[in-house]
Amino acid sequence: MSYFMFMLLLGLVGGLVAVASNPSPYFAALGLVVVAGVGCGILLGFGGSFLSLVLFLIYLGGMLVVFAYSAALAAEPYPESFGSSLVAPTVGAYLLGVGFISSFFWEGWYEASWVPVGELFEFCIQRADTSGVAMMYCWGGEMLVASAWVLLLTLFVVLELTRGLARGAVRAV
């Protein structure tokens, strides 16, 4: 189980590097799909099956529509790929930075810490992830409204950043 979680964490870092280093929205959206899928796998490995499903459905159902729309606005005839001369040095720099920072924390990882949440108590009646969702709605209603407002603001920021001078594929003919 620890090897599987280690591979998922490596996939998460790789997807985040793909999102951070690529200027093209096509490959950045691919990196976001990888990050969402691997993040759901990590949550599933720790026992959060309900939160994993909710994250996968909401993220891929809602936010990728925004990125598909912004990719349509920024229609590039020749997008930069991962092996291009502009993207490859930044990918290498990000991976070296992650490796350098993780070298400081490498001694603190132990296999005994990979314990799912549901196995922490002997006779659990209620799953920790579903009770956490109930507490989030009960105590964090204002935070959910603020998060929805921030997502709407992010939509407008992404659309404004990708608009450019020629207005992409949705320009007036």
Q: How many helices (H) and strands (E) does the chain have?
A: 7, 0
**133 vs 146: CA distance, rounded Å:** 17
DSSP state, residue 60:
I
Instruction: Determine the pLDDT at residue 112.
Output: 56
The pTM of this model reads 0.62
What's the CATH class of domain 2-170? Answer: mainly alpha
**27 vs 14: CA distance, rounded Å:** 13
Confidence of residue 165 (pLDDT cuts 50, 70, 90): low
Q: Measured over all CA atoms, what is the biggest interatomic distance in the chain, rounded to whole angstroms?
A: 67
For residue 30, the SS3 value is helix
Instruction: Determine the pLDDT at residue 173.
Output: 46
Average pLDDT over residues 62-91: 74
Domains in the chain: boundaries:
2-170
Q: Is the pLDDT of residue 121 over 50?
A: yes
pLDDT tens digits, 22-50 = 777 777 777 888 888 898 888 888 777 77
Instruction: Determine the pLDDT at residue 142.
Output: 82
Q: Is the pLDDT of residue 100 over 70?
A: yes
pLDDT tens digits, 101-113 = 888 877 766 555 5
pLDDT tens digits, 77-88 = 777 777 788 888
